[in-house]
Chains A and B, each alone.
Chain A
Amino acid sequence: MRRFPWVSLAAVLAGFALGLIYAWVIAPVRYIDTTPNTLRADFKDQFRIAIAASYASTRDLGRAKARLALLGDGDSNQALTAQAQRMLAAGEPFDIVQQVAQLAADLQRGVAQAPPSTTTIATVSARIATQTATAPGSSLEAPTATIDLTASETVSTAGIFDTPTPRPTRTPIPTAGAPYALTKQDTVCNPNLTDGLMQITVVDRNSRQMPGVEIVITWSGGEEHFFTGLKPEIANGYADYIMQAGITYTVRIAGSGTPAPNLTAPACTDSSGQTYTGGLHLIFQQP
């Protein structure tokens, strides 16, 4: 009867251990010549910030797209939007967040937005009013200027190509204490808008647009959080959400907001008699 080869087994294990010692201690793996898609998540965030900052300077959307592709995100637009929301929640400087959000918005549109010059909110208000124009035959009122805006406030000031970027005007900071409340609710029947679009505008007691305000929307079995200010091309205090028909939502401003309950996507009728899902425009304001 042959003996079990203990010596040989021990030698195999010793060899295995020697291999590991060589691989882990004597000549450990050094990561060199890696690609951006292998970066740790926080460094990927830094990479996107750099891409957005560069894009804010050059407005070269093709180059920004190529750089974003290096990160291997499935959906660059979604990754940028999510990052912008995280940055806002973390209280990072709004002008940097705005660059990330602007790149996401331009990616979605597919065209580089010309760097906006100083734009008064009044222009934005007009745009919102245009978006919320009622369809012919609708009994709904076309909203009047829903936001009493001061001409001194500006939407954004992005980079000018060959000159230093003008500093953005001071961004209003949400004040603690006074709870936001729903002050205006309009039904929006505009077939050119996304079905079920809930547009939310948050303003302070002086009717100034408030970016970076967290909004909580809840419905039976679900809840979502999002922030104002991620679509600065519309307004600093603007945010939107796509409602599903037949679901009742409650919206409130996180922290100190009074809930606005029983919100549903309205049924609208277009000029040819076809029914479609309309939207809502809500304005929250500090008293």
Chain B
Amino acid sequence: MPRWLPPLIAIILGIALGLIYGWVINPVQFVDTTPDSLRADYRSDYVLMIAEAYHANQDAGIAARRLAVFGSDAPATIAAQALQTGQASGYAASDISLLQELTRAMQAYQPIPAPGNSP
């Protein structure tokens, strides 16, 4: 048996042990995740909730802040993605209409700069 074979077998064994440990014995637990990791349909339903609330209060600032939980994308982008998912998933026409309304509002929304941030 060549001399290099036992270490090679040992390395492969080590990798296999690592994978068994990581995938079977102690697999990854999904906890403390963030909204941007949600599956697309859950994301779009979250955005739909915000759209339903926006329809009632017409407060684009609150809607934009709520959409900010999805990360650094622009609120209009997040709303538009949700609209696409909703259309692809066969949402009811009324829900699509709400998402369209929110998307339009976010496209028109101009956040008020915080004091001291203006040039």
Q: Which residue numbers of A lie inside 8 Å of B, CB to CB? A: 5, 7-20, 23, 29, 31-36, 38-41, 43, 46-47, 49-51, 53-54, 56-58, 67, 70, 159-161, 164-165
Contacts and interface: CB of A to CB of B under 8 A. Distances in A.
User: Which range holds the interface residue count of chain B?
Assistant: 35 or more
B74 interface: no
Contact of B14 (A12, A36, A56, A70): A12
A53 B49 contact: yes
B42 A35 contact: yes
6 contacts: A9-B10, A15-B16, A16-B15, A19-B17, A39-B38, A57-B57
B68 to A, nearest CB: 10
B52 A16 contact: no
B42 A15 contact: no
B85 to A, nearest CB: 13
A15 B16 CA distance: 8
B82 to A, nearest CB: 12
Interface of A is mostly: helix
A15 B10 contact: yes
B90 to A, nearest CB: 16
Interface of B is mostly: helix
A50 B10 contact: no
A58 B98 CA distance: 12
A199 to B, nearest CB: 31
A34 B33 contact: yes
B11 A12 contact: yes
B66 A67 contact: no
Given A53-B49, A57-B56, A159-B57, A39 B28 contact: no
A50 B56 contact: no
Ranked nearest first, the 10 interchain pairs of A and B with the lowest CB-CB distance are A15-B14, A19-B18, A11-B10, A53-B53, A57-B56, A15-B11, A54-B49, A11-B7, A12-B14, A159-B56
A33 B22 contact: no
A29 B19 contact: no
